[in-house]
Amino acid sequence: ASGIGIVNVSRGGGNEYRLSGRVEPAVDAKAIVAAVTSGRVEQILVATGASVEVGQSLAIIVSGEAATLRANADAAVAEAEAARLVYQRDLNLVAQGIVARQEMEASRARSLAADAAARAAQAQVAASGSPDTSGRLTINSPIAGIVSAVNITPGGVVAAGGAVAEIADPARVELVFNAPPALASAVTTETRIQVTGTSRNFDAVVVGVAANAREQSGATVIRARSTAGDLPPAGSPITAIVVTDTQEAGLTVPADAVQTVEGQSVVFVVEDSGFRATPVLVGRRAGGFIEILNGLSGNERIAGTNAFLLKAELAKGEAEHGH
């Protein structure tokens, strides 16, 4: 019959689990941007839904604390320069025999200490957002993406560590499932799963398993990535089938390959003259496959897709029935 898919008998069987989850932004594809120092919001430069690039300005705040840090850094740089000039002068005077070498070495130590203090002060300024002398600093986006939330208002005050905006890259998403605790040891990275989205089915591979990730429920979190290209948008609900405890010695066939004829489970084995309905003893069903406990050797080629057409032909005598 036309339209019949031919497949090989597979080896392997296992337990099937159904998981529920969501499409979420990848771990490094979302950011909650926070203010490093407290201050007053002077200007907001983006809005929810706006597209931003790495380093793009999100907001400007004015901070008295940042102004103090900048002033201290400027003073430290000036002190370091003064200490350097003193050391340079003493170095010249030592060469002329006017100043003792001990005094020159002391001024050198003071110059080195002043340089170190200046570098530390400048590092604090950089860490606080590199404010100008008025304490005005710009908060920038650490990633490219879409602004999903703006948590400040013009004229408001933001605390140190307070959220300014939330950024997410919608193009970089992953699959996140909640699973029973028992699956933590049964599922490993590279385990393949079958996922059902809002509009289509696709295959995925596990990239991470975290036991007891949900403290209240003790649930295991399974992260996976698609092997079939684009994913549904972030926030979309999904379900998945994962097969564990795979037994390589067992035989399995696609679920569509097993048909019921006269109350008996059969598969249609390919022969030179066509197909032969061969009785089989079936076991567990998992991941779209059925375990075959008896009736096949494992070397056969059988009808898979549309095997039900052969069942209809068998009733008309066009396929051979084996006993």
Contact 144, 29 (CB under 8 A): no
Give the separation between CA 31 and CA 186, rounded to whole angstroms. Answer: 32
Contact 203, 228 (CB under 8 A): yes
Chosen CATH of 33-63+135-168 out of 3.30.70.60, 2.40.50.100, 3.30.830.10, 3.20.20.150 = 2.40.50.100
**Where does 6-12+249-321 sit in CATH, by number?**
2.40.420.20
Q: Give the range with max mean pLDDT: 193-197, 219-223, 266-270, 294-298.
A: 266-270
What pLDDT shows up at residue 247?
Answer: 57
Specify burial of residue 150 (Cβ count, 10 A radius: 0-12, 13-18, 19+). buried
Q: What is the pTM of this model?
A: 0.59
Contact 5, 305 (CB under 8 A): yes
| Assigned architecture for domain 65-127 | Orthogonal Bundle (1.10)
Q: Where are the domains of the chain?
A: 6-12+249-321, 15-28+171-244, 33-63+135-168, 65-127
Give tens-digit pLDDT for 170-192.
888 899 998 888 788 888 888 88
Give tens-digit pLDDT for 38-81.
999 999 999 999 999 999 999 999 999 999 999 999 999 999 99
> Does CATH number 3.20.20.150 belong to domain 15-28+171-244?
no
Q: How confident is the model at residue 13 (pLDDT cuts 50, 70, 90)?
A: low
What pLDDT shows up at residue 2?
Answer: 64
Give tens-digit pLDDT for 202-251.
888 899 998 876 656 667 899 998 887 778 888 899 998 887 765 555 78
Give tens-digit pLDDT for 272-323.
888 999 999 887 776 678 888 889 988 899 998 888 888 888 877 655 555 4
Write out the chain in H/E/C secondary structure: CCCCCEEECEECCCEEEEEEEEEEECHHHEEEEECCCCEEEEEECCCCCCEECCCCEEEEEECHHHHHHHHHHHHHHHHHHHHHHHHHHHHHHHHHCCCCHHHHHHHHHHHHHHHHHHHHHHHHHHHCCCCCCCCEEEEECCCCEEEEEECCCCCCEECCCCEEEEEECCCCEEEEEEECHHHHCCCCCCCEEEEECCCCEEEEEEEEEEEEEECCCCEEEEEEEECCCCCCCCCCEEEEEEEECCCCCCEEEEHHHCEEECCEEEEEEEECCEEEEEECEEEEEECCEEEEEECCCCCCEEECCCCHHHHHHHHCCCCEECC
Once rounded to an integer, what is the mean pLDDT over residues 112-137?
A: 94
Give tens-digit pLDDT for 18-35.
889 999 988 889 999 999
What pLDDT shows up at residue 1?
Answer: 53
